[in-house]
Structure 1
Amino acid sequence: MNAPEKKIGAPMNRVDGRQKVTGAAKYSAEYELPGITYAVLVGSTVTKGRLSSIDTKAAERAPGVLAVVTHLNAPKAPGAKPAGKDPSQPQTVGSALQVLMDDKIRFNDQPIAVVVADTLERARYAARLVKAQYAPEKHQTNLEANKANAFLPTQAKKNPKSPAADYQRGEVDAYKTGALKLEAEYVIPTEVHHPMELQAITAHWEAPDRLTLYDKTQGTMATRRDFARQWGLPEANVKVIATYVGGAFGNALHSWPHESAAIIAAKVVNRPVKLMLTREQMFTMVGYRPYTWQKIGMSATSDGKITAITHESIGQTSTYEEFVEATLGQTKMMYQSPNLTTRYRLAALDVGSPIWMRGPGEATGAFALESAMDEMAFLLNIDPLEFRLRNYTDQDPEKNQPWSSKFLKECYRAGAERVGWNRRQLKPGSLRDGEWLIGYGMGVGTF
């Protein structure tokens, strides 16, 4: 018997759909192990500075408390390095911030202690009893106020062929001499991951040299490598279990401070430790799409041929880690332009590290480029779709090689037909539905 024919767009069952909607799926926070204990993090209430003192006595005396771990009594992972020792290392799964190693505060809500108790409620209560004193320092968290301090990523300094390095085709900033030109700035604000499943981990040292993690992660093997390296263990001695993931947009592709804290706590109490972030802590501890400023300069002929593009970008990163994105990749290869200039910079701020988020970098850059394309089309009084077609390229202009396949032109035409593009008004803001302005547009994204 032949298998039933599958058509594009036809509904299909998710492999794990039934388990998830019936509650049969078991997530990282739902594993119950013999002797399980519960951990709660205590976060810094200042953004930058040092811990001048931390008083854990009341918390330690609270009912059910097994341990209160700070930088003063935490076992040090053999492979852990002080945060910021080499922030230029390319982004990997491993967090550059190893918590509970020193008294330095690098961002607001940075974990300064972890409280372990026999119930979650007791751990929460005891965590409120931890008292900290700080020597605060002046902090910088505003990218707009720190654009002048932006710098070329270290990886680009080391390798001129890095995607983050300055790129030039034709004349530098040639748009400035164009008869018809525009300059425009675009901002993508910070966007935070908030999947339904909170970040959670249960850490269990089955032996002094054998570690099992029930962890919310999108990459079990990468998480395994990271913590094996951190604790000086053979990879075969670290087991990572993540049977189901309840939503993740990139934040579960990285190892974070709460995971290290749980592993340290489990080492101290010699029992399994479960730690789940609160919804509030999801804002501060597991990354975000970085605030990114962009500027595009573009020039074109009166008949709609682009003559030059300059695309500049400054992305937010932490002081202890250089997080680099492919923000400018689409601009280098999407449209014909004899002159092209790109510059990518980072602004190191007193914040937690950003991380990849659903269309990382590429989506951010596409927003600016495609907005500029629309604005230039309006300036030229040319339909935005027609403007893109006039600058369409059948080969990669950066590499001078044909695409292995490209059906974007066919997509343009099919989409335009289906949404009635030929009925669209060229002038923005010309369509109303009562008091509401309405309209529709188009754009291109790459990944």
Structure 2
Amino acid sequence: MISTKVPMLAALAALALSTLPAQAQTTFGTSCAGASGVTPTLSVSGVVQSGQPWTLEVTAPGGIGFGYLLVGFSNTTASALGGVPLPFDLGTLFTDPLWSGCDLTIDPNFLTLPYTFDPNANGGLWTKNFQGFSGGQLYVQAINIDADFVTRIAGVSQGMIVGGGDSQLIPGMKLIPPGTFEMGSNAPGGDPYYGQAIEQPVHSVTISYPFWMGQREVTQAEYEALTGLNPSASVGPNRPVERVSWNEARAYCLSLTAFESAAGNLPAGYEYRLPTEAEWEYACRAGTTTEYNVGIALSCAQAFFQFPKTNQFPSCGNPSGTANVGSYAPNAWGLFDMHGNVHEWCLDSFTWYSAGDVTDPFVTGWADRVYRGGTWFNQASDCRSAARNGWSSTGLSNGIGFRVVLAPVLVPVP
């Protein structure tokens, strides 16, 4: 049977996120104190949500020098806040032998909007007022620099991410916005893609609700912490858990849901579960329409798999077994290993696609379950965004693991 959910809430602002940060902020990286000053700290005053003003505070009480606040953006325009170029080369500053050695953790691509602040003024407090923004994420980090602007870093703050408006932040997960994409592939059956009829017809799919997806496949450490077990063949705490059946992966999600629900951390109507097949492909593609989310081909440097050419050498030369999750660059939505490493279970039953446009598809009622993504021992053609296969819900393989989503509640038919 095929069931289609009633369209869910249009915006995360309507969700009951009882214990998630109301200000939608999180820190990352480490701070450090330099040779001659005080490490700046970052904080937010006010609720960061659509249409509501909020204030970013940078504090370096009694600090020396003249600091810079580095601001970067994701999913919004870099011109929104204005700014001026840095008057010096950061690379030169960060080779200063008197600097204690912490990292500039903000994405270097976004080092275009610095704001000056004086740590000696106003008790070391500098503020910047913002209007509420309705989407995306703002990345900030402060550097306290001695007055010569050249050779002395007095301190570097932690990085901080501020979620724009409805973008509630959950560690280890990425918010996937609603949208429409073309699901499936018309790739020919021969070299290089070896497309399959089961990937057809290509059809328009709309995901009407926002959801969060795990940035990485569930690791062995995460699985063992919740279940007390590690069934994996390629053992390592940061490797993906594998040799888990669909039933076991779903049981993990149910346990995680129960744990987070008891802590009051779940939005109303949402649960931790396996992604639907449509959610998985939508998130894997991240707006792309090519056979891979990196383009028309997949190279050995872009994912953990074995054969760039189907059943042909040379191979990628990867060792037997899985790699640590996140070892390769993420896709445009910040998701790692959507191609290769391990196949990933999806919530749906495995059967043929129906023709025609569909909203929020969820297919259930058949015995075999979908898995996606390709493995460490596969060829590139098996790792395509649209490639799909199915197996028994009790099947075990050293090439199948899973990742979780936080998404609207769905109940598959056993």
Q: Larger radius of gyration, structure 1 or 2?
A: 1
Q: Given the two structures, how large is their TM-score scaled by the length of structure 1?
A: 0.26
Q: Which structure dedicates a bigger proportion of its chain to helix?
A: 1
Q: Given the two structures, how large is their TM-score scaled by the length of structure 2?
A: 0.28
